[in-house]
């Protein structure tokens, strides 16, 4: 909250509420080596996938993201100005077949952005968001497997 004094009176200007998440996705899958992906909805439902080498097999684990964690992710997106985040600059060429990691976010008001980087790249603004989302995926993987099947990069999980 911003407070100003005008003619001896205190005037408080409330910040607008943060834009709520509608959906967040992470894709970190390399066709030769596999990887992982994550989908999170506004209600906290999450689907985390592990993808095997060669993308032959994908296992789905579901989880529920708590309200405080969702709010923390929203705050991180706002603090890092995710919507205006430029791609990290390459300090060196990517390794052959290096994994491309992409985070996409859409808010309930319709703002959306996708930001990506190669796995070895460092980004002070992107990496904390990715670490938080990877932690959510790891919690889901610790739970029961929901389904298993062939990996399809274009597939949107049921319910998302």
Task: Give the start-to-end residue ranges of the domains of the chain.
Answer: 19-149
pLDDT in tens, 39-81: 999 999 999 999 998 888 999 999 999 999 999 999 999 888 8
Quick check: 82 and 113 in contact, CB under 8 A? yes
pTM over 0.95: no
Give, to the nearest 10 degrees, the angle between helix 127-141 and helix 67-79.
160
| Pair 51, 68: CB distance under 8 Å | no
pLDDT at residue 3 in the model: 43
pLDDT, tens digit, 9 for 90 and up, residues 107-132: 999 888 999 888 888 888 899 999 99
- Rounded to the nearest integer, the mean pLDDT of the chain is 85
- CATH entry, 19-149, from 3.30.310, 3.30.1560, 1.20.1270, 3.40.50: 3.30.1560
CA distances from 76 to 56, 61, 129, 159 (A): 34, 25, 7, 25
Quickly state the pLDDT bin for 92 (edges 50, 70, 90).
low
Q: Which helix (H) or strand (E) holds 59?
A: strand 58-64
């Amino acid at each position: 909250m911003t407070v100003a004094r005008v003619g001896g009176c205190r005037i408080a200007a409330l910040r607008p509420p943060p834009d709520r998440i509608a959906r967040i996705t992470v894709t970190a899958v390399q066709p030769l080596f596999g990887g992982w992906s994550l989908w999170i909805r506004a209600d906290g439902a999450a689907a985390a996938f592990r993808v095997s080498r060669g993308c032959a097999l994908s296992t789905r684990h579901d989880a529920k993201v708590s309200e405080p964690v969702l709010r923390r992710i929203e705050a991180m997106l706002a603090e890092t100005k995710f919507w205006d985040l430029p791609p990290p600059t390459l300090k060196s060429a990517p390794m052959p077949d290096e994994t491309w990691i992409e985070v996409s976010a859409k808010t309930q008001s319709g703002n959306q952005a996708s930001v990506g980087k190669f796995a070895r790249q460092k980004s002070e603004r992107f990496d904390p968001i990715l670490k938080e989302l990877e932690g959510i995926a790891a919690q889901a993987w610790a739970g029961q497997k929901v389904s298993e099947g062939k990996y399809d990069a274009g597939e949107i999980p049921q319910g998302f």
